[in-house]
A = this chain, B = another copy of it.
Amino acid sequence: MTEYKIALVGFGGVNRGLAQLIATSNARWQATLGFSLKIVGVTDLFLGSVVDRDGLDAAALAALPAEKGALAQIAGGTAEAFNETVIKQSGADIIAEATFTNPVDGEPAATFCRWALESGIHVVTTNKGPIALHGAELKALARQHNVAFEYEGAVMSGTPVIRLAKQALAGSQIQGFEGILNGTSNYVLTRMKAGMAFADAVAEAQQLGYAEADPTADVEGYDVRLKVVILANELLDARLTVSDVTCSGISGISAADIVKAQATGQCWKLIGAASKAADGSVAASVEARLLPLEHPLAGINGAVNAVSFNTGLLGAVTVSGPGAGRIETAYALLSDIIALHTTDRR
């Protein structure tokens, strides 16, 4: 039985969810997965930081109030976020990086990942920024130091996409993919199909907690674009940057467009897609597309996400599931740890 020491970097919903899972499930993981997790450090720009090499109480961490400097309430804790200390000096085997996504330069998450990988520490993350903007560099760093760099949760939270494609569909000749990769925009389109106006549907998505106060990144496709970059580079061996992906959103779609689509047996979806040409070049886009009702993504409604892989040997294989959520995304970190646990690094 292995016990991994883990440090949590960023202590918002996702890493709190992981602390909660550790508090409730460690004993079962020992029996079923062959490992358990011991939290040896936590750091968060708002909450502060704490290190304890003997292990912190996961349940107490999960119950911590969301108040500025709250980690000072834990024995040995402080209201300051000593990120570098927690990452490099806590004795962690694994860093769970779940800070905010910075779509411009991926910082400070990318630096947090670099610190860990250079120190020979595994990194699991749900953060799109470092992968979409610095993926090749960070993967090379992980290889160089023979540690894991896993990020299943960066695309569809806990719904498996990257490992599904790379492991379960290995050898199937993936030539491209189409995805519904943003729950907010899909929820808005679903509600518009039921007769709601765009602005009202956005407001409802905000009330339900799907959409941010500023929904621009969701409805204009910027969030999907980062995910398309990640998937295209991962599954199609592309080397795309964000500017290589043409991008438009759903804000231009009117109630009349929706009605017209339904009348012709079609539906509008915000699709992030990429495909590989015979010469190896990869074209990628984010745009609202009219799908025929028999398309594998046409029936994906509400906040659900989905990716349909276009494979040479199987045709379309589609996976759908949650694309967000606290526990759902925390599970992605667990699935990354399962993957690193079962990988032979000798």
Which A residues fall within an 8 A CB radius of B?
A: 21, 29, 32-33, 157-160, 163-164, 167-172, 294, 296, 298-302, 304, 313-322, 327-328, 331, 334-335, 338, 344
Contact = CB atoms under 8 A, between A and B. Distances in A.
Contact of A338 (B170, B298, B338): B170
A32 B338 contact: no
User: Which of A33, A164, A301 gathers most chain B CB within 10 Å?
Assistant: A164
Given A168-B335, A169-B160, A335-B168, A319 B322 contact: no
B313 A321 contact: no
Contact of A159 (B314, B320, B328, B344): B314
A299 B320 CA distance: 12
A314 B321 CA distance: 7
A160 B171 contact: no
B331 A172 contact: yes
Give the 7 A-B CB pairs with smallest separation, nearest first. Answer: A299-B299, A160-B168, A317-B321, A313-B331, A163-B168, A318-B320, A158-B314
27 contacts: A29-B171, A33-B170, A33-B171, A158-B172, A158-B313, A160-B164, A160-B168, A160-B169, A163-B167, A163-B168, A164-B168, A164-B319, A169-B335, A171-B334, A298-B299, A299-B300, A313-B328, A313-B331, A314-B321, A314-B322, A314-B331, A315-B321, A315-B322, A317-B320, A318-B320, A318-B321, A319-B319
A321 B316 contact: yes
A79 to B, nearest CB: 32
Contact of A331 (B171, B302, B338, B344): B171
Q: How many copies does the complex hold?
A: 2
A335 B170 contact: yes
Contacts of A301: 294
Contacts of A302: 294
Contact of A317 (B32, B159, B327): B159
Contacts of A300: 299
Nearest to A301: B294
Contacts of A316: 321
Contact of A320 (B158, B296, B344): B296
Contacts of A331: 171-172, 313-314
A302 to B, nearest CB: 7
A318 B317 CA distance: 11
Contacts of A164: 160, 164, 168, 319
A339 to B, nearest CB: 9
Given A294-B302, A321-B316, A168 B168 contact: yes
Interface centre among A164, A321, A322 (most CB of B within 10 A): A321
Contacts of A159: 314, 317
Given A164-B168, A314-B328, A316-B321, 15 more contacts: A158-B314, A159-B314, A160-B168, A167-B168, A169-B335, A170-B338, A171-B331, A171-B338, A172-B335, A296-B304, A313-B328, A313-B331, A315-B321, A317-B322, A318-B319
A33 B327 CA distance: 34
Nearest to A315: B322
